[in-house]
């Protein structure tokens, strides 16, 4: 499923979840489009905030019978509601802004400066135009800075350093 349809599902889910204080931060397919996984978080939650299993269950019940989501998907599927976890997905400019100074992994839909993938530290998020289409994210990677337009984003997430457990 393309990014636009996933974004539509995220918007539909968030509109249903918002009155209860939640938001959908990412959607992905697993198992060849058999499992629709929605990552849910509290609205305005800090990255270190942990959403509980009970909250995932509550969000799942809210989303279970949303006909608009069924219509956005062309075939039968199983809905899975999940916490974003420690390596939470990033999708919006505000997600990246909150992560300035943090290590992330990025996969783009097309090559920018001879690369589609990178791991680096979020250095800057700049709005180049009045709409989201002009939002540039700059990562500090090996070899210098690398910038991309957020509309070219395929997938991004935090990178947790598993060797530096506190």
Residue 130 has pLDDT above 60, yes or no: no
Instruction: Indicate if the pLDDT at residue 112 is higher than 70.
Output: yes
Is the CATH number 3.30.930.10 carried by domain 93-158? no
Classified by CATH at the fold level, domain 3-82 comes out as GMP Synthetase; Chain A, domain 3 (3.30.300)
Domains 3-82 and 93-158 are alike in CATH topology: no
Domain boundaries, the chain: 3-82, 93-158
d(C-alpha 113, C-alpha 136), whole Å: 14
pLDDT band at 121 (very low <50, low <70, confident <90, very high): very high
Does residue 50 or residue 109 have the better pLDDT? 109
**Section 152-163 average pLDDT:** 89
Q: Give the pLDDT confidence score for residue 135 in this predicted structure.
A: 87
pLDDT at 76: 81
So what's the pLDDT on residue 128? Answer: 67
Contact call for residues 90 and 99 (beta carbons, < 8 A): yes
User: Which has more confidence, 45 or 109?
Assistant: 109
106 token code pair:
């990025």
Indicate the helix (H) or strand (E) that contains 66: none
């Amino acid at each position: 499923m393309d990014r636009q349809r996933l974004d539509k599902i995220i918007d539909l889910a968030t509109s249903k979840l918002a009155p209860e204080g939640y938001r959908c931060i990412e959607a992905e397919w697993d198992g060849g489009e058999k499992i629709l996984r929605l990552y849910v978080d509290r609205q305005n939650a800090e990255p270190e905030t942990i959403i509980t299993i009970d909250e995932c269950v509550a969000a799942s019940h809210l989303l279970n019978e949303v006909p608009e989501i069924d219509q956005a998907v062309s075939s039968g599927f199983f809905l899975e509601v999940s916490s974003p976890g420690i390596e939470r997905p990033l999708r919006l400019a505000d997600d990246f802004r909150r992560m300035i100074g943090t290590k992330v992994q990025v996969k783009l839909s097309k090559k920018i400066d001879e690369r589609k993938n990178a791991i680096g530290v979020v250095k800057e998020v700049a709005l180049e135009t009045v709409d989201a289409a002009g939002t540039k994210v700059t990562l500090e990677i090996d070899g210098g800075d690398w910038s991309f337009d957020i509309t070219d984003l395929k997938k991004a997430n935090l990178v947790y350093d598993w060797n530096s457990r506190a």
